[in-house]
Structure 1
Amino acid sequence: MFLRSCLAALTVLIALGAAGAATADCPAKSTQMDDIIAALKAAPSCNRAMTIFEACEYGASGDVQFGAVVEQRCEADFLSGLGASRKKAYQRELRACDRKYLNESGTMYMSFTAFCRAEVAQRYSQKALKTAGPKAR
């Protein structure tokens, strides 16, 4: 029982810390979800979108929407150029993120999943841009 109480308190502290960080460094007009989504959509690059996501994260289920925007932004850099086998590999990596915290309870695990998926998309974007050379950036 004591351990469960400590874990619950730690979860709350982490969530509060993440929310506090978001308000201090978030480059969006405000920390409202619509403003953060607008900032993510306006990001000039995948890496910038990820930086905004990290700065504006809620540490909870709202991050699922933010992560989806980052995924879409990053996928614009590589998805159309992937062959069938690489697309399957990409989908496998995304599914691995979905499974990673599947049996965990709490909205922070939804945030962890969103970040995992966005990081996979970011890696693919970085690799595609590196392969394409400096002109693609």
Structure 2
Amino acid sequence: MMHYHLTAFRALTLLWVSPALANCPVDFNFGSIVTSIEQADTCEQGINIARQCAFGSTADVMFVNLASEKCLTEIAPLTCNQQTALDDLRQQCRDKYAEFEGTIYRSFAAFCELEVIEAFHSALSDPIDMEF
């Protein structure tokens, strides 16, 4: 019985990690991914690296935090109401997966928070100046 559970777990892990191995634009190791997100030129680049190189574990929390920091530095300081809304939405992501055990659920919560950050970034970024 235990052998079956381990085999099933390995199969699920391969299903999660295999796409990341194929899509990750940098060397698929923790240090390279962290460095690439830190050195990304834009929020979108940082988010793409975090998503494409996800481990499906608590390591993703670090990737998401780095991408989130990059995104938040690209927008004007948040008002008190905006910060409260952001904090509330991020907490909802944490709460959504809090009752589940396993590192993959920490990853799910982190990427849920990243979607919130991405939405705030999109809504609050300065529009592109276009001269005609």
The alignment's TM-score, normalised by the length of structure 1, stands at: 0.83
Match of 1:56 among 53, 56, 61: 53
Helix, strand or coil for the counterpart of 2:120? helix
Q: 1:16 maps to which residue?
A: 14
Distance in 2, matches of 1:19 and 1:79, equals 36
RMSD in angstroms over aligned alpha carbons?
1.9
Show CA shifts across 1:24-83 (max 9, x none): 11112x111110011111112112211111110001111111111111011112261x11
User: Which of the two has greater helix per residue?
Assistant: 1
Identity of counterpart residues, as a percentage?
25
**How far apart are 1:12 and its partner, in Å?**
4.3
Match of 1:70 among 63, 67, 70: 67
Q: 1:91 maps to which residue?
A: 87
**How far apart are 1:98 and its partner, in Å?**
1.1
Helix, strand or coil for the counterpart of 2:64? helix
Unaligned stretches of 5+ in structure 1? none
Helix, strand or coil for the counterpart of 2:98? coil
Contact in 1 for aligned 2:76/2:124 (Cα 8 Å): no
Q: 1:133 maps to which residue?
A: 127
Q: Which runs of 4+ in 1 moved over 3 A?
A: 11-14
Unaligned stretches of 5+ in structure 2? none
The alignment's TM-score, normalised by the length of structure 2, stands at: 0.86
